[in-house]
Amino acid sequence: MKWTEIFTSSIGKKLVMALSGLFLISFLVIHVGLNACIWANDKGEMFNKAAHFMDTSVVVRILEVVLFAGFFVHIIQGIVLEIQNRSKRKIGYQIKLGNRGSKWNSRFMGLLGTIIFMFLIIHWKQLWIPSRFTGVAPVVIDGKEMQDMFSLMKVTFSELWVVIVYVVACYSLCWHLIHGFQSAFRTIGVYNNRYLIMINKAGIWFSVIVSLAFAMMPVSMYLNWV
Amino acid sequence: MEHYTMNLTLKVWKQKNTASKGRFETFEVKDISSEMSFLEMFDVLNERLINEGKDPIAFDHDCREGICGMCSMYINGRPHGPWHGTTTCQLHMRAFKDGDTIVVEPWRANAFPVIKDLMVDRSAFDRIIQAGGYISVNTGNAVDGNTIPVERDQAERSFAAAACIGCGACVAACKNSSAMLFTAAKVSHLALLPQGDPERKTRALNMIAQMDKEGFGSCTNTGACEAVCPKEISIAYIAQLNSEFIRGAVLQHEENE
């Protein structure tokens, strides 16, 4: 096997999914952590400062390019794998094994991923593109002018349909992560059962906490909690 | 449990040969004993079909004691039927009630083409074994079995993997038609023993290359294989195969390229 074939073989393709997935998980930690600043109860001051840091740091700019590469690889590889795997059984079964053999979310990773991707397009259009390209109204904090991302969020999440879209996306993300988190570790070769049980539990906690935190952001803005 | 007899409706996949299309046919069977095995019920039906001058239903079987891995029926949507950790030949009719309809399909995967009716060609598994499922031993007198010390835990885990009978239920159950549990069992069984060490670096790479060539899908860790395996092979062996594969890829010498 040539070294390039390592990444195009069936395990190699999984490795690409697992490594890009773990990278995206690490991004979620940063994203949810920074966004939690909206709950600082200071009319968005801390959140706007955090957003300003992310906006102006060179390191973050470079990581952003890497992040998009990560998204690209994970999504394209995911679609390719789904199509290839489906093509391996030309004639299907009359009666399917279904939930007797596996959890539903592990079989519907492609569908859950597609929902998250469609959400991402809306999310980018509403919040990322204004902050990066089209511009956001400024606010002055501590004598420094910065983008008022907090107010943009407040306006965006004042509409019910947006809140519903975000909550549905977070629900999909939660189920996607519950399978993806532990599956990624299996793929990179963790096979000790004791660690696998720990990773499985940690994965469920991570998925629920991160998704719930994300979902509560538009909800708490819609209900004027912040 | 008390003995009882039952009348059943069978919906069985009939297909003349690999090239033909195939369809379900319905058969009624009467006075089936609850103590019969599932295959004996098929024997009763086939004897009747032969007496009537009809084509009997072709199905694979050999030892009929759950260790050869030949029987391969997808019964009511589950490989080897409703019982856990059981091959089709060890499934008994007491798993069913009078008046039940049972749907029997062959393993479905492009890599397992139907030969006739419920028989599929599983020679792809043989070729995966040939690609790396072997060890090197010196010729001459057989060496005493206990010459090389083996840690007990390793031996146990190796044996649990070696219990794989290669029936293909894992492929049949997998939504991706992946042969990963089979390949994982074969790779892990040898990787865990000192006797398997000489080929360890190349084994996983070669067997995975062959698995891909045979047209199996790739694993997405759903766990359906583990749930239906008649020998209860753990899905943790797939993670071990992944680890063996990465190890092989990292340690690979240039001359192998």
Tens-place pLDDT, residues A103-150: 999 999 999 999 999 999 999 999 999 999 999 999 999 999 999 999
How far is the C-alpha of A124 from the C-alpha of A216, rounded, in Å? Answer: 19
How far is the C-alpha of B228 from the C-alpha of B218, rounded, in Å? Answer: 18
How many domains are there within chain A? 1
A93 and B220 in contact by Cβ < 8 A? no
What is the predicted pLDDT for the residue at B257?
46
pTM value is: 0.94
How far is the C-alpha of A55 from the C-alpha of A53, rounded, in Å? Answer: 5
Instruction: Determine contact, residues B167/B72, Cβ cutoff 8 Å.
Output: yes
| Stretch (H or E) spanning B104 | strand B101-105
Closest CA to B98 of B1, B28, B26: B28
Substitution target from B242, B243, B256 for chain A, most A beta carbons within 10 A: B242
Cα Dmax for chain B: 66
Instruction: Determine contact, residues A213/A36, Cβ cutoff 8 Å.
Output: yes
Q: What are the start-end ranges of the H helices in chain B?
A: 38-51, 123-132, 152-162, 169-173, 180-191, 200-213, 224-228, 236-251
CATH class of B123-256: mainly alpha
Tens-place pLDDT, residues B23-73: 999 999 999 999 999 999 999 999 999 999 999 999 999 999 999 999 999
Closest CA to A79 of A110, A109, A105: A110
What is the predicted pLDDT for the residue at B255?
54
- Partners of A85 on chain B (C-beta within 8 Å) are 175-178, 217-218, 220
* Predicted complex ipTM exceeds 0.90: yes
The CATH number for A44's domain is 1.20.1300.10
A84 part of contact set with chain B, CB < 8 Å: yes
Helix, strand, coil content of chain B in percent (nearest 5) = 40, 15, 45
User: What domain range is A216 assigned to?
Assistant: 3-87+102-222
A179 part of contact set with chain B, CB < 8 Å: yes
Q: A172 in a domain, yes or no?
A: yes
* pLDDT bracket for residue B254 (50, 70, 90): low
What is the predicted pLDDT for the residue at A100?
95
- Give the chain B residue whose CA is nearest to the CA of A190: B239
Domain ranges of chain B: 5-115, 123-256
Helix (H, G, I), strand (E, B) or coil at A220: helix
Whether B17 has a pLDDT exceeding 90, the answer reads yes
| Stretch (H or E) spanning A146 | strand A144-147
* Residue A7, burial from CB neighbour count under 10 angstroms (0-12, 13-18, 19+): middle
- Minimal Cβ distance to B221: which of A2, A10, A183: A183
Residue that is written with structure tokens 């519950």 in the block: A178
- Partners of A191 on chain B (C-beta within 8 Å) are 236-237, 239-240, 242-243
Q: A48 in a domain, yes or no?
A: yes
Instruction: Determine contact, residues A147/A136, Cβ cutoff 8 Å.
Output: yes
| Stretch (H or E) spanning A160 | helix A160-187
Closest CA to A66 of A28, A31, A117, A23: A23
How far is the C-alpha of A11 from the C-alpha of B244, rounded, in Å? Answer: 11
Q: A65 in a domain, yes or no?
A: yes
Structure tokens at A54: 């992310």
Whether A79 has a pLDDT exceeding 80, the answer reads yes
* pLDDT bracket for residue B2 (50, 70, 90): confident
In terms of pLDDT, which residue wins out, B139 or A190?
A190
Q: How many CA atoms lie within 13 A of B232 on its CB side?
A: 7
- Give the chain B residue whose CA is nearest to the CA of A195: B236
Backbone φ, ψ for residue B24 (5° rounding): -80, 140
| Stretch (H or E) spanning A101 | none
- Give the chain B residue whose CA is nearest to the CA of A196: B236
Interface contacts A/B by beta carbons within 8 Å? 151
How far is the C-alpha of B128 from the C-alpha of B204, rounded, in Å? Answer: 10
- Give the chain B residue whose CA is nearest to the CA of A78: B220
Q: A123 in a domain, yes or no?
A: yes
B217 and A15 in contact by Cβ < 8 A? no
Count the neighbouring beta carbons within 10 Å of the beta carbon of residue A195: 12
- Partners of B237 on chain A (C-beta within 8 Å) are 191
- Partners of B79 on chain A (C-beta within 8 Å) are 97
Tens-place pLDDT, residues A37-78: 999 989 999 999 999 999 999 999 999 999 999 999 999 999
Percent of chain B's residues with pLDDT above 70:
98
How far is the C-alpha of B121 from the C-alpha of B98, rounded, in Å? Answer: 33
Determine the CATH number of domain B5-115.
3.10.20.30
A103 and B257 in contact by Cβ < 8 A? no
